[in-house]
């Protein structure tokens, strides 16, 4: 089958009238003013055609400058019978499929990086989460864990809590931002939420036997704040949702954070890190450091004899034998730089301790 065409070599302005024959192997192009050419089908490219049969412009991989133009409307169907993959519509569908496939693969790769990579990078990521977002997240957690329960604010108890918090803060060279609240709940628990929010439940104050024990617990929670452990936990568990929330401001991610932090048990490394920081805080504040060990030891023993009332704190802050031993090995009365024993004072006066225990009293 022969078709009349027009050929330009792209190197000169000459235009050659040619005859184009579709053979079993390719296009045979010949003309009075042009040496015979053979363009293989595999190397053909269609350009500037809308798929409506005419005119058809053909190029060849071996010479991108050369152009063959065939105006006969029967040429394209005949060419596509030999080389169906040149069909513009098929190429469009193939291109769309490639785009879709590439997008799916790209999304999967990005998702994989976020899903597997973010948890591994939880610590550095948690340290750079904007403070404003941490505050917002912390307030959401406080609202969740508090629920309809009141935040205890008896004036005398609140002042005692503030004095204890200030003293603990003074035990660090670079104290973290810490907002300590007591929630009127019998739950024996305490937690550190993002943004430096520390929640202590009334049940824990009732179970504590001394202000030194409460000071130890608060110092431990401050240790979690210092190392951004709550944010690390959220990054590990909700890596993708956290990224979407930070980028879009969508609050859907926030709904489950309170539940997670109430049920989450930190890793042994995180708990040991918080313990070590707590000891530094207590030493710097001139407070006894054995209160935390005593509290943990009583919790561990009480879990077996107390009918389960301590199970919440034990499950979220498991006081392992190794942790208790490490706390007990720390001198209750550390040495000052000059080698003399450091002077220690009670965490609170008797009056302040009584006020803190009664911080949730009504009226």
pLDDT digits (tens, 9 = 90+) for 192-249: 888 889 999 999 999 899 999 999 999 999 999 998 888 887 777 666 555 555 555 5
Residue 305: the pLDDT is 46
Distances (CA, A) of 275 to 223, 328, 334: 7, 11, 16
Backbone phi and psi for residue 45, each to the nearest 5 degrees, phi listed first: -135, 135
How many other CB atoms sit within 10 Å of the CB of residue 180? 21
DSSP SS3 for 13: coil
Q: What is the pLDDT of residue 223?
A: 93
At 147-161, the pLDDT tens digits run: 767 789 899 999 999
Residue pair 233/224 in contact by the 8 Å Cβ criterion:
no
Q: For the segment 252-305, what is each residue's pLDDT rounded down to a tens digit?
A: 555 556 555 655 667 778 888 999 999 999 988 888 888 888 888 877 776 554
Q: Where are the domains of the chain?
A: 2-86, 87-120, 122-357
Judge if pTM exceeds 0.85.
no
17-67, pLDDT tens digit by residue?
A: 999 999 988 999 998 888 899 999 888 888 755 555 568 889 988 887 889
Between CA 281 and CA 363 the distance in angstroms is: 34
Q: Where are the beta strands (DSSP E) in the chain?
A: 2-8, 16-22, 26-31, 34-40, 44-47, 56-60, 63-70, 179-183, 190-193, 197-201
Cα-Cα-Cα-Cα dihedral sign, residues 308, 312, 318, 324: negative
Q: According to CATH, what is the number of the domain 2-86?
A: 2.30.29.30
pLDDT in tens, 82-96: 888 887 665 545 555
Would you give the DSSP letter of residue 151? Answer: B
Burial of residue 113 (number of CB atoms within 10 Å: 0-12, 13-18, 19+): exposed
């Amino acid at each position: 089958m022969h078709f009349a065409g027009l050929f330009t070599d792209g190197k000169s302005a000459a235009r050659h009238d040619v005859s184009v024959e579709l053979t079993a192997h390719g296009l045979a192009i010949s003309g009075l003013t042009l040496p015979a050419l053979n363009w293989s089908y595999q190397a053909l490219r269609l350009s500037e055609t809308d798929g409506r049969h005419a005119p058809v412009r053909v190029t060849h991989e071996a010479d991108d400058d050369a152009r063959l133009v065939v105006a006969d409307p029967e040429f394209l169907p005949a060419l596509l019978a030999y080389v169906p993959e040149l069909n513009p519509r098929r190429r469009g569908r193939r291109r769309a499929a490639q785009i879709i496939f590439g997008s799916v693969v790209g999304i999967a790769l990005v998702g994989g990086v976020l899903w597997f990579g973010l948890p591994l990078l939880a610590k550095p990521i948690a340290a750079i989460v904007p403070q404003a977002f941490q505050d917002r997240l912390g307030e959401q957690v406080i609202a969740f864990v508090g629920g309809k329960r009141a935040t205890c604010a008896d004036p005398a108890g609140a002042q005692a809590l503030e004095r204890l918090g200030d003293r603990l803060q003074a035990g660090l060279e670079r104290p973290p931002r810490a907002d300590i609240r007591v929630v009127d709940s019998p739950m024996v628990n305490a937690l550190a939420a993002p943004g430096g929010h520390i929640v202590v439940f009334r049940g824990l104050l009732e179970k504590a036997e001394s202000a030194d024990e409460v000071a130890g617990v608060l110092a431990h929670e401050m240790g979690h704040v210092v190392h951004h452990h709550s944010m690390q936990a959220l990054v590990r568990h909700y890596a993708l949702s956290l990224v979407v929330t930070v980028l879009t401001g969508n609050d859907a991610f926030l709904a489950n954070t309170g539940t997670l932090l109430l049920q989450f048990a930190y890793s042994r490394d995180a708990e040991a890190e918080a313990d070590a920081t707590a000891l530094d805080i207590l030493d710097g504040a001139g407070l006894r450091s054995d209160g935390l060990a005593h509290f943990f030891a009583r919790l561990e023993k009480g879990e077996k004899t107390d009918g389960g009332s301590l199970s919440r704190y034990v499950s979220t802050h498991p006081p392992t034998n190794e942790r208790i031993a490490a706390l007990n090995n720390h001198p209750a009365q550390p040495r000052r730089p000059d080698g003399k024993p450091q002077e220690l004072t009670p965490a609170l006066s008797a009056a302040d301790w009584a006020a803190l225990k009664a911080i949730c009293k009504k009226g």
